[in-house]
Amino acid sequence: MNCHSPGQGLMPTSFKVRVVPLDGDDSATEEVLDPDFGEAAIGRVAPVDSGLWWIILLLAYGKCSGDLSVQERIDVQTGIKMILKLCLADGFDMFPTLLVTDGSCMLDRRMGIHGHPLEIQALFYSALLCAREMLAPEDASADLTMALNNRLVALSIHIREYYWIDMKKLNEIYRYKTEEYSFDAVNKFNIYPDQIPPWLVEWMPNKGSYLIGNLQPAHMDFRFFSLGNLWAIICSLAIEDQSHAILYLIEAKWSDLVADMSLKICYPALEGQEWRIITGSDPKNTLKCSTLLLAMESLVLPQWRLLANFALAGARFIGKQAHLLQTWSIAGYLVAKLIENPNAANILVNVEDPELSNAFCWARGKRSRK
């Protein structure tokens, strides 16, 4: 850990401003930035999502300001390519999803999301679309553009098909055969039916579905992660029918997912022995609410509630590990203000790509004919 360096293209999770004296003049100083690539992070985990957000927000800045000169700069174009090459590099993983470690996104805490968490896949898909729009057309980018397009197709089919859960899919999983070895296996990830949690059987509404939190060999994380599902809608990773179904689910389960506070990061919360094993008894991962907002109903909540985590669903106690006035605490509220001018939200929206949609429809039709 102390003698290893991250791959080129890794975006720092944060910066510290340090004041240093100028060479040859002790009376004059300058400010320099010290980037943190994970060397000082909690758990010493490198950030996976910061580079993806950088690409997404870079395009959003161009749309909002009309200033495209920033994304056209040579150093910025180089930065985009470095991030893409790092994310698209071949490795031991057999899936088109991005493999990440626990704690490398979200709360920088263990939440049992190691592997292929939905949030990162939605951001990955969105970043690929944004990068494709910003990359300067030149011969040197031909191979990178081809790899990018191929990954978009594979990733969209993979998430839309295998992460999607509804009552029909639950019944399919319930009747899965295991230990299937063939190219035509139905249970491709060797999921054991007993993995279906009891709470999900009762919780899943007849109308409404969602994208599960994670998928790996012999493991499906059935928890509902709000950012991954909502960002899948924003970037059109979820097709239109799936987007409507996700919103139907949130409406049907409003009392569980929102209640008197804003939308929860994850549902259901981990408790008891499961919480101890998965989070390592992290007190910051106890039952509480997040600060993401869904719609106008959340805006009428007392605004001071949005400035801290709350320990209970009723939001009457401030969480033991809460900190007031953090930037991330107010970010959700600021984004929700876009509702007052819906057109402003277009700076973050990726319009559905017809070619990717057609590829998914073809793949789904091929599967149904088997």
pLDDT tens per residue across span 243-253: 999 999 999 99
Q: Where are the alpha helices (DSSP H) in 175-225?
A: 198-203
Within 66-138, where are the H helices? 69-72, 74-88, 118-134
Statement to judge: residues 71 and 217 lie in one domain = yes
Name the domain boundary from 247, 277, 305: 247
Helix axes 49-65, 74-88, angle to 10 degrees: 140
Contacts of 42 (CB under 8 A, 6+ apart): 103, 108, 109
Q: Tell how far CA 270 is from the center of its chain.
A: 19
Same domain, 187 and 330: no
pLDDT of residue 162: 95
Number of domains present in the structure of the chain: 3
The answer as to whether 357 is a domain residue is no
Whether 362 is in a domain gets the answer no
Its pTM stands at 0.83
Say yes or no to pLDDT of 311 above 50: no
Residue 368 lies in a domain: no
Measured distance CA(195)–CA(295) in Å, rounded: 33
Which helix (H) or strand (E) is 224 found in, with range?
strand 224-225
Kindly report the average pLDDT of the chain as a whole number: 82
Q: What is the pLDDT of residue 325?
A: 55
Of the chain, the end-to-end C-alpha distance in Å amounts to 48
Residue 358, domain member (yes or no): no
| Whether residue 211 sits in one domain with residue 81 | yes
Q: Cα(99)–Cα(101) distance, rounded to whole angstroms?
A: 7
Residue 297 has pLDDT above 50, yes or no: no
What Cα–Cα distance (Å) separates residue 206 from each residue in 34, 170, 249, 259, 352? Answer: 52, 12, 9, 21, 27
Same domain, 198 and 58: yes
The answer on 82 and 9 residing in a single domain is: no
Contact present, 289 and 315 (Cβ < 8 Å): yes
Domain that holds residue 215: 48-247
pLDDT band at residue 25 using 50, 70 and 90 as cut-offs: confident
CA dist., res. 225 & res. 290, Å (int): 11
* Angle made by CA atoms 59, 349, 137, in degrees to the nearest 5: 40
> Token digits for 328?
């991330």
Amino acid at 288: K
304 has a pLDDT exceeding 50: no
Q: Average pLDDT in the 312-327 region? A: 54
Same-domain pairing of 115 and 147: yes
Give domain status of residue 356, yes or no. Answer: no
- Same domain for 163 and 229, yes or no, is yes
**Does 331 reside within a domain?**
yes
Tokens, residue 276: 């101890």
State mean pLDDT over 89-114: 84
- Arithmetic mean of pLDDT, 235-249: 94
Question: What pairs with residue 221 in β-bridges?
Answer: 214
- Residues 10/51, Cβ–Cβ less than 8 Å: yes
Single out the residue of 125, 126, 102, 104 nearest to residue 115, CA to CA.
Answer: 102
Amino acid making up residue 229: N
Is 273 within the bounds of a domain? yes
Residues 128 and 67 in one domain: yes
Same domain, yes or no, for 312 and 229? Answer: no
